[in-house]
Amino acid sequence: MRIIVLGVVLGSVAAPPVTAQLPPVPVRNSLGAQVGDSGVGTATDYDALIGGWNIRFQSASRVGKDGSPTEYSPPRAGTWTFRRTHGGRMVEDEFRLGTSESGGTFTYRIFNPTRNLWEIQGTDVGSGRWDGGISWSDGGDRLVVQHTGSGVIRVRYYEITADHFLWRADASTDGGKTWLKDVMKIEADRRREP
């Protein structure tokens, strides 16, 4: 399996220029996102993420035979903003790398109390594609499974505090039979408004 899936999963991440001298995004272990098929969430799962974040994003540029990255692209700077809308019942987010106003990834999450999980629709402005998925909580972590034009990604938001979180994603192009672990990773620090 090749790493071509990355450009299709997040079409907006390939276009922005590389930001010089940013430190790499840490990953605490080599286990990948470790996300199951589904779980149980609460309507407050995304409360800790509401607001603006400065991010560093990296994607795998080479993957070994075991599906683990052997090399990452240089880190890119960007922003990620989460906000509650529709009377607090929906969480929308806008993910941007670089300073481009023409691209971006937008995700819409609504909590389904019957299923006890979040239903997600993500869109990439560049491709015009909608990607459906689900999200739930696992202790302090937030987990996502999302179908894309080229396969499936599974995501873990982890080490979430008031001012910081880490994010890692695995990708599959064969319906989840095999996974490329940690093909994308993000470190986010809360943006302080003047």
Give the tens place of pLDDT for each residue, 113-160.
Answer: 999 999 999 998 778 889 999 999 998 999 999 998 889 999 999 999
> Distance between alpha carbon 65 and the CA centroid of its chain, in Å?
24
pTM (predicted TM-score): 0.85
Q: Measure the CA–CA gap between 190 and 193, rounded to whole angstroms.
A: 9
CA distance 62 to 59: 9
Q: Could you tell me the sign of the dihedral formed by the alpha carbons of 156, 121, 97, 62, in that order?
A: positive
Closest to 49 (Cα-Cα) out of 175, 179, 155, 176: 155
Task: Give the tokens for residue 57.
Answer: 């994003």
Q: Of the ranges 20-34, 68-82, 139-153, 155-169, which is most confident?
A: 155-169
Q: Which domains does the chain have, with CATH numbers?
A: 5-14+45-190 (2.40.128.20)
Question: What gap in Å lies between CA 150 and CA 187, rounded to an integer?
Answer: 25
